[in-house]
Chain A
């Protein structure tokens, strides 16, 4: 069952703007990951942040993690039409070998 909650459920912005998505979880974790899913496709791993890290960057992606609040955020800067997709956070709170996914944020980038 789903443990994480993502906010917002849907986000629509103009190309070039920044997009921020949030994720909350319930129990202690070792790491948190973000995945992207294009329509009709499987999930693709974007970035992983460990519990002892507070911020991580990868290209136009910036992820933060606040373990005291049990929350994470994904920032996509200078958005492009190709960033249109659903974004999911996933934690290992289900156990070291299992990932628990949030409900996802559906991001639409308008040209």
Chain B
């Protein structure tokens, strides 16, 4: 298995631009999580899905952030418009029976820099 796949790995954009981060979870996993990691705030859960349905988006910082999961093998996290304070590493993780229900498998992350 290729593990959780994220793209792009690095993104540099200018303030005000739209940013779309992509994630492909491990096949067969029914939970998908989006996290953000910064030096100041550590690792924060933004939103998670179960069977493609958003369950808890209480960690989404504001309306500029949105996430979708149109099918079991793909999810996006969109920031529109982006701001410098959005600069962070964004991780996607998935979880399912195959890996043990409590264990999350993380992707390599997308390093976002907003200028």
A interface list, Cβ under 8 A from B: 1-2, 31, 33, 35, 40-45, 48, 88, 92, 94-95, 97-104
Cβ 8 A contact of A42, one of B102, B103, B107: B107
B interface list, Cβ under 8 A from A: 4, 31, 41-45, 48, 50, 55-56, 91, 93, 100, 102-109
Contact A42/B4 with A33-B102, A101-B42, A101-B43 known, Cβ cut-off 8 Å: yes
Cβ 8 A contact of A41, one of B31, B104, B109: B109
Residues of A within 8 A of B43 (CB): 2, 43, 88, 101, 104
19 A-B pairs besides A42-B109, A43-B104 with CB distance below 8 A are A2-B43, A33-B102, A42-B93, A42-B107, A42-B108, A43-B91, A43-B106, A44-B106, A45-B105, A48-B102, A94-B45, A97-B31, A97-B48, A97-B50, A98-B48, A99-B104, A103-B42, A104-B42, A104-B43
Q: How far is the CB of A4 from chain B (nearest CB, A)?
A: 9
Residues of B within 8 A of A102 (CB): 42
Compute how far the CA of A97 lies from the CA of B48 in the bound complex, rounded to whole angstroms: 9
Cβ 8 A contact of B102, one of A88, A92, A94, A95: A92
Closest Cβ neighbor of A41 among chain B residues: B108
Closest Cβ neighbor of A88 among chain B residues: B43
A33–B41 touching, CB < 8 Å: no
Interchain residue pairs A-B with the least CB separation, the first 9: A42-B106, A101-B43, A43-B106, A45-B103, A2-B42, A103-B42, A42-B108, A42-B107, A42-B109
Residues of B within 8 A of A35 (CB): 106
